[in-house]
A and B are shown apart, each in its own frame.
Chain A
Amino acid sequence: MSEHPGTITRPQQTPAAEHHMPADYRINVGNFERALSVIGGGALVLYGLRRSLGNLSLMLGGGALMYRGFTGHCAAYEAMGVSTANQDAGPGILLESTITVNKPVAEVYRFWRQVENHPRFMTHLESVVSQGERHSHWMAKGPLHMPLTWDADLIEERPNTLLSWRSVPGADVDYMGTVRLRELPDGRGTEVRLRLEYAPPGGIAGVALAKLFKTLTVRQLKEDLRRFKQIIETGETPTTTHQPVATASSMRERNVRNHQHSAVS
């Protein structure tokens, strides 16, 4: 699960661009898929060439596919937060999302550093307990008879900039979570970029892991980050659960209709 930095040399960037750069060039297409892209793209280009020059779109499409295969980067995948790059190792997920919160970077850093906070907004986590300065015990939500737990270490911390946790060798799941922080200019708050990677060790997913992967999507991660923002900014999350609504009435109406139906038949 190591990163493969892009090989394209880049000109001097603004701080904002530097912060965002790693996402744009990361390989997010798996090897087999890359080979398919090159072959398929090549075929399209040839096909386009053999027809009249008016089939530029075919050639462009083919060219794009080949580029995707050669570089391993798919812009569409990146936009969707999807990566098939790790699929050669077996099923797993890599998700990334970003949110901006109206709090100073130091406060945001402290919040993330305290791992007990994570389950407050990450719906897939049941609990996280710190055991010492850098060691913690994690439990994912799942059926009681199939708990998914792992130990992790804080492998990297740069105050107000980065926190990275990784599961210990031999854990039931290969986990890596990284949060990057960037203070925005002129009191605009803090940008938070979260990257989560889960993979089964040895490539074979257990039942509990497979269940986890089903529910943990980019969409879910976005909602989790929204919850984090709500909690750190307002201290609560908005809700309407159990608020009054005329359900009894509409149920009465449905029951009346059902009775009428059964009376007729």
Chain B
Amino acid sequence: MKAVCWYGTGDVRVETVPEPKILNPRDAIIKVTLAAICGSDVHLYDGCIPTMHKGDILGHECMGEVVETGREVKNLRPGDRVVVPFAIACGQCFFCTRELWSLCDNSNPNAWMAEKVYGYSGAGLFGYSHMYGGYAGGQAEYIRVPFADVGPIKVPASLRDEQVLFLSDIFPTGYMAAENCQLQRGDTVAVWGCGPVGQFAIRSAYMLGADQVIAIDRIPERLHMAKTHGQATVLDYQEVDVSEALKDLTGGRGPDACIDAVGMEAHGTSLDAVYDQAKMAMFLATDRLHALRQAIQACRKGGTVSIPGVYGGFLDKVPMGAAFAKGLTLKMGQTHVQRYLRPLLGRIEHGDIDPAFVITHRLRLEDAPHGYAIFRDKKDNCIKVVLRP
């Protein structure tokens, strides 16, 4: 089968590889009908994530048709159309039973690796380095899905692939980011990053009762999408002083909650952003945090900073003093996708949102290398790339 494989920084290739087989009784094999490239895939493409091996199959946003199931999978049958969550969860451990699905104890065969770095390992992820399990990803014609009796959700024929694909990751991610803001009705939320996750965070914040959502970015088409689809008040951080603008837009109090939908490869031109880049180039720091710093500085006293990610390593110069002085709550983590699948599918069916609005590029699987390049460099007005095998 054809699959998108990682070969190093800036080097992804579409290779012919064997088709996956059932390895465990709770596996299922899915024939992929649609996949996507995620902002966090860009971290892999940029060589920021360790423990990648040449030849690893990428992709953690995918959906398709069940073609084979292991003997313990009773809820799925060949022919079922499903969306696959990006994090793999067993359903039985302490964390899964408490709906902390992305923290599953039992789905990472390389848990010892993550433990070395983080103290404890969370769930295995599709297509996201060996520290997270080294699972073959979904930018391919077929994918093996472990614990298929827990993760994948069946979707109705009345909804197109493009409408439901993003249940796999970015829609629940944006939604959980907004939920983590602990919103009260009438709150103002500021969102850094108008990529796909930011777009869903904006929509979700309004769904959860926000009165005003302010979106911050520098890319014109992303700001435009946030304004037209998201109904957000947009700020171009290259044109305005974001801190001053946020104070102004909130009557001097500051946003009640701030979402950092930018993550570890923050782009900025201010002094602290340049500092981050220099340190990263010298391997002294591993993550850049310009957006997170701003979010902490801007948030009102007693507010919440919500971090859908992704951060991988260590941050330098986090304004802990500001966070402490203002009594902020920081909420973060990998998305507990399984928790949100049914409610968000319900919203799509109900017509509250058509997630396909973020898609700007529809490519064949063979064109994935081009897709990675324009997505990373934000060329050709690229906001979200989907791949059809």
Instruction: Report whether B109 and A244 are in contact in the complex, using a CB–CB cutoff of 8 Å.
Output: no
Any B CB within 8 A of the CB of A247: yes
Instruction: Report whether A233 and B134 are in contact in the complex, using a CB–CB cutoff of 8 Å.
Output: no
* In the bound complex, CA of A100 to CA of B93 (Å): 10
Chain B residues, CB < 8 A from A229:
93, 105-106
Chain B residues, CB < 8 A from A234:
26, 90-93, 106, 147
Instruction: Report whether A245 and B90 are in contact in the complex, using a CB–CB cutoff of 8 Å.
Output: no
Any B CB within 8 A of the CB of A237: yes
Instruction: Report whether A238 and B108 are in contact in the complex, using a CB–CB cutoff of 8 Å.
Output: yes
| Interchain CB contact (< 8 A) of B26 among A222, A235, A242, A244 | A235
* In the bound complex, CA of A250 to CA of B57 (Å): 13
Q: CB within 8 Å of A: which of B1-32?
A: 1, 3, 5, 7, 13, 15-21, 23-26
Q: CB within 8 Å of A: which of B73-128?
A: 88, 90-94, 97, 105-109, 111-112, 124
**Residues A238 and B17 in contact in the complex (CB < 8 Å), given A243-B135, A245-B56, A246-B5:** no
28 A-B pairs in the complex with CB atoms less than 8 angstroms apart: A189-B94, A219-B112, A223-B112, A229-B105, A234-B91, A234-B147, A235-B72, A236-B25, A236-B26, A237-B24, A237-B109, A238-B24, A238-B107, A238-B133, A239-B24, A239-B109, A240-B135, A240-B136, A241-B23, A243-B23, A244-B140, A245-B17, A245-B53, A245-B55, A245-B136, A246-B54, A247-B55, A249-B5
Any A CB within 8 A of the CB of B144: yes
Chain B residues, CB < 8 A from A240:
23, 109, 133-136
Interface residue total, chain B, C-beta cutoff 8 A: 45
Any A CB within 8 A of the CB of B146: yes
Given A234-B90, A245-B56, A250-B54, 19 other A-B residues pairs in contact with their CB atoms under 8 A: A219-B112, A229-B106, A230-B90, A233-B90, A233-B92, A234-B92, A234-B93, A238-B133, A240-B135, A241-B23, A243-B20, A243-B135, A244-B20, A244-B136, A244-B140, A245-B55, A246-B13, A246-B55, A247-B55
Number of A-B contacts (CB under 8 A): 98
Residue of chain B at shortest CB distance from A249: B15
Chain B residues, CB < 8 A from A19:
none
Q: In whole Å, how far is B110's beta carbon from the nearest beta carbon of chain A?
A: 9
Q: In whole Å, how far is B332's beta carbon from the nearest beta carbon of chain A?
A: 24
* In the bound complex, CA of A238 to CA of B7 (Å): 25
Chain A residues, CB < 8 A from B3:
244, 246
Chain B residues, CB < 8 A from A247:
55
Interface residue total, chain A, C-beta cutoff 8 A: 28
* In the bound complex, CA of A141 to CA of B49 (Å): 37
Chain A residues, CB < 8 A from B109:
237-240
Instruction: Report whether A250 and B90 are in contact in the complex, using a CB–CB cutoff of 8 Å.
Output: no
Q: What 9 A-B pairs come out closest when comparing CB atoms?
A: A246-B55, A246-B15, A246-B5, A238-B109, A244-B17, A234-B90, A233-B92, A236-B24, A102-B94
Chain B residues, CB < 8 A from A238:
24, 88, 106-109, 124, 133, 146
Q: In whole Å, how far is B28's beta carbon from the nearest beta carbon of chain A?
A: 13
Q: In whole Å, how far is B117's beta carbon from the nearest beta carbon of chain A?
A: 16
Any B CB within 8 A of the CB of A124: no
Chain B residues, CB < 8 A from A219:
112
Q: CB within 8 Å of B: which of A177-225?
A: 188-189, 219, 222-223
**Residues A250 and B93 in contact in the complex (CB < 8 Å), given A236-B26, A237-B109:** no
* In the bound complex, CA of A235 to CA of B149 (Å): 13
**Residues A226 and B111 in contact in the complex (CB < 8 Å), given A235-B25, A244-B57, A246-B57:** yes
* In the bound complex, CA of A238 to CA of B91 (Å): 13
Chain B residues, CB < 8 A from A222:
112
Q: In whole Å, how far is A240's beta carbon from the nearest beta carbon of chain B?
A: 5
Q: In whole Å, how far is A182's beta carbon from the nearest beta carbon of chain B?
A: 15
* In the bound complex, CA of A241 to CA of B133 (Å): 11
Chain B residues, CB < 8 A from A236:
24-26
Chain B residues, CB < 8 A from A188:
94
* In the bound complex, CA of A34 to CA of B54 (Å): 50
**Residues A250 and B94 in contact in the complex (CB < 8 Å), given A239-B23, A242-B23, A243-B23:** no
Residue of chain A at shortest CB distance from B21: A242
Residue of chain A at shortest CB distance from B5: A246
**Residues A244 and B106 in contact in the complex (CB < 8 Å), given A189-B94, A235-B25, A235-B72:** no
B43-84 interface mask toward A, CB cutoff 8 Å, 1 = contact, 0 = none?
000000000011111000000000000001000000000000
